[in-house]
Structure 1
Amino acid sequence: MDTGRFDGVTGPDRPSYSTGGAARRLGVSPSTLRTWQRRYEVGPTGRTEGGHGRYLADDLERLMRMRRLMLGGAPTGEAARASADVRAAPPAGRRAVPVRRPSVTAAVRRTQVRRLTGAAMAWDQAVVEPVLATALRRDGVVPTWTELIVPVLTSLGVRHARHGDCIAVEHLFTGCVRAALAAVVAGQHDWDGYPPVLLACPDQEQHSLPLHALAAALAEVGCPCRVLGASVPADELAAAALRITPRAVFVWSQTAATARSADLSALPPRRPPVPVVVGGPGWRRQGRSGSTVHVDSLAEAVAALSRRAVVAEL
């Protein structure tokens, strides 16, 4: 069995790895490595006495450069060609992220919030959709979610609490938001072989819009996701994690009643363990466990999950 450690094939100063061992090091599937070797001639340069390919340290370093370039936005073929240059990618342990775009002023944002709230109250989808699309394109997902979408949802929630209406209006606005976020995800590249992050709400949790915001924000930094959505039973979440073998799992709970640590413990064991990140008001009253990362904002969730998407050091 390949443990990913030195096995004596190439000498004590030149450890080597089989395709399976190299794939585990990189966080991709063995079939992905074989595809890269076949399509882009990025493969093992070592050989056993029997002629089988073995990945040497230099081979893995090149593949890491290739992966970092892909995470930074380069197409797979371009990343494969550029990875031959040791200067082609960010240093190990760092990740290329989009340049932060300047946000609009607070006064402009308040005007946008009032305009969007009024448009939603008037059922004016023709106004809501382009404003959301423009803000997402210009400012990015995190600022738009934090400074525009959440305040509008909060305003509609306050009105509902005072007057008992706005539920249908909130559904209309939420549908527009979800469509705009989906367009962001659809506009990103699907990175070949990159393990996705699994996003879900636990059983009985119906507030899934934050999952779609997180999927769009992660797509902006080259991190694909699988969104399971609302009210996913613990056994179904565990089955999905077993089938998909995600890079990380994120669970959102709006209420304390749905934030159940037992649901997280049902996730299948894996070596190394799959990182679990939780977010939402529901988790704030739960005890902090050493193996679970708690985040309190969309920006924190993106940072926590994208760190887990970076190829590990040798």
Structure 2
Amino acid sequence: MGRVKADSRPEGPAEDGVTAALSTGAVARRLGVAPTTLRSWERRYAIGPATREDGRHRRWTPEDISRLEEMCRLTAQGVPPAEAARAAMSAPAATPGSGPARNGQETAPSSRAPGGPNALPLGDVRQECRGLARAAVRLDAPAVDALLDAVLAEHGLVTAWEEVVAPTLHAVGRKWATSGERYVEVEHLLSWHVSSALRRVRYAVERSDVPPVLLACVPGEQHSLPVEALAAALGERGLPARMFGPALPAEALHDAVRRLGPAAVVLWAQSRSTADRSLVQKVSGIHWGVKGARKRPAVLIAGPGWAGGAYPGALRLHGLGSAVDVVEALFPG
């Protein structure tokens, strides 16, 4: 996917090096919780902001946020919310990202990742990515949904996928691969909600003057989220696409190509074990139409499974944004 960029935008104005008080929405995005969750914690456990603007609008100080970070860390480890709130409220306040305070003195920043040992290995990413990861680890489905909808609305589908969603999915996969079958539930929950969010993307009116693009995972390939993202991105631009999802059998793929007469066929392979050179050759050789005016589709291969191989007659796609541009260039006008 596209290169991950750090989000350098400040979350609030700063004075004398100290982060100013933030709104509930800004804090929710920072921590990866739904705003309703913060209000619920305040109502149930009295873990709320120290000040309010005009007596109504919540403004969270760095000390308030540090307590919320501690509560998020504890709940991510399985501590019940009520107990986590008591522990967070009784702990000496520290500025966000600092180590625990001892004897009234703040220590140097801690090397422990937010969320404790359950935190995902994210590296240098947007703040929204960290929030989404924390929500996923907590299995906080409402927060995951809210964060996905917010990042899609603010950044658009391509940027949201390449700089927030995909890095989080990759981090979950790495965590699962190195944790002895743990965190499978995190991967499943996050994948389900990402798929649901992609289906909520509003499509433009589909063009009727051009043939569709056929999107499918190769036989045996169950990882369909990247192709779902491509289908949604094409739908945003009004480009007709027909999505067949994971593990489409070769015979069914052949029949679909012959019936649809697509402008292009996109074949996704996550692993080398599913990337099939002979399938590419077969799809490239499918023709339709009357004699003398026969047509065949452009074959586009996508996914890490195709890396390192040569596939004559096929064009390799790299990243969601460039994939959309390549497909769009196939259509006139």
Q: Shorter chain as normaliser: what TM range? A: 0.5 to 0.7
Alpha-carbon deviations, 1:267-298, whole Å to 9, x = none?
32243321111111111122141x21111211
Q: Please, which of 220, 224, 246 is the counterpart of residue 208 of structure 1?
A: 224
Partner of 1:307: 329
Relative to 1, partners in 2 of residues 1:137 and 1:310: Cα closer, same or farther, differing over 3 Å? farther
Q: What's 2:305 paired with? A: 282
| Structure-1 residue corresponding to 2:148 | 132
Q: Identify, as 1 or 2, the structure richer in helix.
A: 1
Q: Confirm or deny: 8 A CA contact 1:206 1:231 kept in the other structure.
A: yes
Structure 1 residues 222, 195: CA separation in 2 closer, same or farther (over 3 Å shift)? same
Partners of 2:300 and 2:233 in 1: how far apart?
A: 15
Q: Aligned residue for 1:181? A: 198
In 2: Cα distance, 1:259 partner to 1:301 partner: 18
- Indicate conservation of the 8 Å contact 2:239/2:328, yes or no: yes
Rg larger for:
2
Q: 2:188 aligns with which of 165, 168, 171?
A: 171
Which of the residues 90, 101, 105 maps onto 2:7?
105
Shift in Å at residue 245 of structure 1? 1.3
1:147 deviates by 0.3
SS at match of 2:246: strand
- The one-letter amino acid of 1:173's match is L
Q: Look up the SS of the partner of 2:243 in the other structure.
A: strand
- Aligned counterpart, 2:259: 243
CA distance in 2, matches of 1:140, 1:251: 24
Q: Is 1:117 aligned with 2:140?
A: no
Work out whether residues 256 and 285 of structure 1, in 8 Å CA contact, stay in contact via their aligned partners in 2: no
1:208-244 alpha-carbon deviations (Å, 9 max, x no partner): 1111000111112221211111111211111001111
1:254 and 2:270 aligned: yes
Gaps of 5+ in 1: 1-102
After superposition, where does 1:74-85 map in structure 2 within 5 Å? Answer: none
- Equivalent-residue separation in structure 2 for 1:152 and 1:119 (angstroms): 11
Q: Give the number of aligned pairs.
A: 207
Q: Percent identity?
A: 34
Change over 3 Å in CA distance of 1:293–1:302 after alignment to 2: same
Cα pair 1:259 1:286 within 8 Å, conserved: no
Aligned-residue RMSD, C-alpha: 1.9
Pair 168,251 (structure 1): closer, same or farther in 2 beyond 3 Å: same
Which segments of 5 or more consecutive residues in structure 2 lack a partner in the other structure?
Answer: 12-124, 289-293
Residue 178 of structure 2 aligns to a residue whose secondary structure is helix
Q: CA deviation at 1:178?
A: 0.6
TM-score (norm 2): 0.59
Give, in whole Å, the separation in 2 of the partners of 1:212 and 1:149.
Answer: 13
